[in-house]
């Protein structure tokens, strides 16, 4: 497969269904289910075992992370990532398609897409519409587990797509990067609680703009058109010709901003991996903007 300057970030359910039907899933094309759900809601592993896209493997975000970090979903090392995806039969020549089963049509898949890109792999796409639309359109599903032949993957961290806490602190002074937060408005403002981990209050980093990630998706769960996405960035006064950092709670939905910008022709959006989960625990009080305490009082 010839890699273009901007590799196609989305593939359609129709395209993938044709590839599955033609038995193209293999060393040159791997399909990954990157579903993850908050404990006590849905069981991604069980759902995968019951039904998934034929030939797909699980991309377990809980396994492919830095388990020594106190923060929620920090990137693994180059070696950890290379070993993990190599066991899924992925080499540096493989076209990877990622999807998830979220009811929105996509939640964790853009995180997996960004992870491959940050580790130097450009031939990666998100299944537009996700598993929800795959099933809705009547494409095949299976409970058969595929055990791909392991491959050798070489990971090279692309530092330009990743931001650390220290770099975010520096950016508060330099303002070289625009920063956009993808969480729901209430969590960004501090009027609604953060889900999940106890002790994490809502709020945002000073100077950030808010673009909730679900607004990038249509009601059916497909990515909005390039024209609509460009209008959304313009309305928020986000200049896609200038440096941009995406953030959220734990570096997951921030990747929806990176994907939307990529579809608009901007492939260099960096993600603050620790996001609010790290910032809330490390930043001084004056660097956390929130209405939370006022509401509780």
**Cα distance between the two ends of the chain:** 59
Q: Output DSSP code: residue 159.
A: G
Question: Which domains does the chain show, CATH number per domain?
Answer: 10-157 (3.40.250.10), 160-296 (3.40.250.10)
pTM score, two decimals?
0.95
Q: What is the pLDDT of residues 120-142, one digit of tens each?
A: 999 999 999 999 999 999 999 99
Strand partners, 98: 32, 126
Give the model's pLDDT for residue 139.
Answer: 98
248 annotated active-site: yes
Q: What percent of the chain clears pLDDT 70, i.e. is strictly above it?
A: 96
Give the model's pLDDT for residue 295.
Answer: 52
Query: Active site residue: 64, 248, 255, 264, which one?
Result: 248
Give the model's pLDDT for residue 217.
Answer: 98
* 8 A C-beta contact, residue 269 and residue 242: no
Cβ neighbours, 10 Å, residue 143: 9
Q: What residue ranges of the chain have pLDDT lower than 50?
A: 1-4, 297
Give the model's pLDDT for residue 198.
Answer: 73
Give the model's pLDDT for residue 38.
Answer: 84
SS3 279: helix
Query: What per-residue string of b and e applies to 181-206 under the rule 16 or more CB within 10 Å gives b?
Result: bbbbeebbbbbbebeeeeebebbbbe
Structure token pair of residue 274: 């620790």
Give the model's pLDDT for residue 297.
Answer: 40
Q: What is the pLDDT of residues 8-18, one digit of tens each?
A: 999 999 999 99
């Amino acid at each position: 497969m010839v890699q273009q300057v901007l590799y196609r970030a989305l593939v359609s359910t129709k395209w993938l269904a044709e590839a599955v039907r033609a038995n193209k899933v293999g060393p040159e094309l791997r399909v990954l289910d990157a579903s993850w759900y908050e404990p006590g809601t849905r069981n991604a592993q069980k759902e995968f075992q019951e039904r998934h896209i034929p030939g797909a493997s699980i991309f377990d975000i809980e396994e492919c992370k830095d388990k020594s970090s106190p923060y929620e979903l920090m990137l693994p090392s180059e070696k950890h990532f290379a070993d993990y995806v190599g066991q899924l039969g992925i080499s540096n020549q493989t076209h990877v398609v990622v999807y998830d089963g979220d009811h929105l049509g996509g939640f964790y898949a853009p995180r997996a897409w960004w992870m491959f890109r940050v580790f130097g792999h450009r031939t990666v796409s998100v299944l537009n519409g996700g598993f929800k639309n795959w099933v809705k359109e009547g494409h095949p599903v299976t409970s058969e587990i595929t055990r791909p032949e392991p491959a050798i993957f070489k990971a090279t961290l692309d530092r330009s797509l990743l931001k650390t806490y220290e770099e975010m602190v520096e950016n508060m002074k330099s303002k070289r990067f625009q920063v956009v937060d993808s969480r729901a408005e209430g969590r960004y403002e501090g009027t609604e609680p953060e889900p999940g981990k106890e002790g994490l209050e809502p709020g945002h980093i000073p100077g950030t703009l808010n673009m909730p990630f679900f607004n990038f998706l249509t009601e059916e769960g497909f990515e909005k058109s390039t024209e609509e996405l460009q209008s959304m960035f313009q309305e928020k006064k986000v200049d896609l010709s200038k440096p941009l950092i995406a953030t959220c709670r734990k570096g997951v939905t921030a990747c929806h901003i990176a994907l939307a910008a990529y579809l608009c022709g901007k492939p260099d959006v960096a993600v603050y991996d620790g996001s609010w989960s790290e910032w809330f625990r490390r930043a001084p009080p004056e660097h956390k903007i929130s209405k939370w305490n006022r509401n509780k009082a």
